[in-house]
């Protein structure tokens, strides 16, 4: 009912190569048509309901479709990189949580920005990034969070004055500065990721939505910059985040802003996790939503009836 795919350029490892066919795999014994595969749709066929029961991810209840149903879920390069690095380390006997980059987390969740650009032509001085973080559990310890913004290469030369340029990140409608970066308008104009620490912004859990705001502001000239001062007081031009490479229009998925949340779960038991997911499904009146093996004779009746469970 939903697809995961890894872009062809994403991996050279054998393991990940084997996952590339997820995007155009067979559904049961029925081969998808190329169009169906490309659009990520499930072909209309008998047994769809049963298949939904079997193949629903843990915690996803019947009738609760994912927001992007039908859309292809493309793992971000950064997440693929994390997986590759840590799984290789594991095979070498190194615990991934020892890596400094992992912040000793055992779970790393990525959230893609859902915000849209302001279509007006006025300079964009503030940009809001929106994330649906409702799947984060407050039972897990939050050990880190970072906002990764891809800055496209601005047109050269910038033509901006020689004074520092500050990028600041705030929670929306809040004066709390989460993190800041200083750009050199006269420096190299390479594209790349700007990473902001937003842990403080996520700490008062639980969150449903997280809104972060990027602001740009001119800094003061250094006292030693006599050349610039000698040219007299000059009003810097209004800043536009689009011209700095932060516009969101016409941006490939791999360049969209990414919120990466690092958590540490004390739960070690997959069965406990399954049981909790199943419990929440039952609470929502969707008993039987845990996926049974696809080869099971009757996935619909995979779970015992309430009477059988009582006896058990």
Partner 1 sequence: TAFASRHGKRHGKKSRLRCSRKPLHVNFKELGWDDWIIAPLEYEAYHCEGVCDFPLRSHLEPTNHAIIQTLMNSMDPGSTPPSCCVPTKLTPISILYIDAGNNVVYKQYEDMVVESCGCR
Q: Name the residues that contact partner 1, by CB under 8 A.
A: 1-4, 6, 15-16, 18-19, 22, 25, 54-55, 57-60, 64, 66-68, 71, 73, 75-76, 79-80, 82-83, 86-87, 90, 95-97, 106-112, 132, 134-135, 265, 268-270, 291-295
Least distance (Å) from partner 1 to the CB of residue 82?
5
By beta-carbon proximity to partner 1, the closer residue of 216 and 281 is 281
By beta-carbon proximity to partner 1, the closer residue of 75 and 185 is 75
CB–CB of 117/247 below 8 Å?
yes
By beta-carbon proximity to partner 1, the closer residue of 240 and 282 is 282
Region of residue 57 (phi > 0: left; psi between -120 and 50: alpha; otherwise: beta): beta
Torsion of CA 17, 4, 8, 136, to 10 degrees: -90
Least distance (Å) from partner 1 to the CB of residue 7?
12
Least distance (Å) from partner 1 to the CB of residue 234?
46
Number of H helices, E strands in the chain: 8, 10
By beta-carbon proximity to partner 1, the closer residue of 51 and 242 is 51
CB–CB of 168/177 below 8 Å?
yes
By beta-carbon proximity to partner 1, the closer residue of 70 and 219 is 70
By beta-carbon proximity to partner 1, the closer residue of 162 and 195 is 195
Least distance (Å) from partner 1 to the CB of residue 140?
10
Least distance (Å) from partner 1 to the CB of residue 20?
10
Q: Provide the CA 106 distance to its chain's centre, in angstroms.
A: 16
Between vectors from CA 127 to CA 121 and to CA 130, what angle results, nearest 5°?
A: 130
Paired strand residues for 169: 179, 214
Q: How far apart are CA 61 and CA 71, in angstroms?
A: 18
Least distance (Å) from partner 1 to the CB of residue 288?
15
Q: How many CB atoms lie within 10 A of CB 282?
A: 16
Q: What is the DSSP string of 237-288?
A: PPP-TIIIII--SS--GGGS-EEEEEEE-----HHHHHHHHHHHHHHTT-TT
């Amino acid at each position: 009912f939903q697809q995961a795919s890894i872009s062809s350029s994403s991996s050279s490892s054998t393991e990940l190569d084997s996952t590339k066919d997820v995007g155009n795999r067979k559904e049961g014994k029925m081969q998808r048509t190329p169009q169906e595969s490309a659009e990520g749709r499930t072909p209309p066929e008998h047994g769809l309901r049963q298949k939904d029961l079997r193949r629903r991810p843990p915690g996803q209840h019947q009738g609760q479709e994912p927001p992007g149903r039908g859309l292809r879920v493309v793992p971000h390069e950064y997440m693929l990189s994390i997986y590759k690095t840590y799984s290789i380390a594991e095979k070498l006997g190194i615990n991934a949580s020892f890596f400094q980059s992992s912040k000793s987390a055992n779970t790393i969740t990525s959230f893609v920005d859902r915000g849209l650009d302001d279509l007006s032509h006025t300079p964009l001085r503030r940009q809001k990034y929106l994330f649906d973080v409702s799947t984060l559990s407050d039972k897990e310890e939050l050990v880190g969070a970072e906002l990764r913004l891809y800055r496209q290469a601005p047109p050269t030369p910038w033509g901006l004055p020689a004074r520092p340029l500050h990028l600041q990140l705030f929670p929306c409608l809040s004066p709390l500065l989460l993190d800041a970066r200083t750009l050199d308008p006269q420096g190299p104009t390479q594209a790349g990721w700007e990473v902001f620490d937003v842990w403080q912004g996520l700490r008062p859990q639980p969150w449903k939505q997280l809104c972060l705001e990027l602001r740009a502001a001119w800094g003061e000239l250094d006292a030693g910059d006599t050349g610039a001062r000698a040219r007299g007081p000059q009003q810097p031009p209004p800043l536009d985040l689009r011209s700095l490479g932060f516009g969101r229009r016409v941006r490939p998925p791999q360049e969209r802003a990414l919120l990466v949340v690092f958590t540490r779960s004390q739960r070690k038991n997959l069965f406990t996790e399954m049981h909790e997911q199943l419990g929440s499904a039952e609470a929502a009146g969707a008993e039987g939503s845990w996926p049974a093996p696809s080869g099971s004779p009757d996935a619909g009746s995979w779970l015992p009836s309430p009477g059988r469970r009582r006896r058990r």
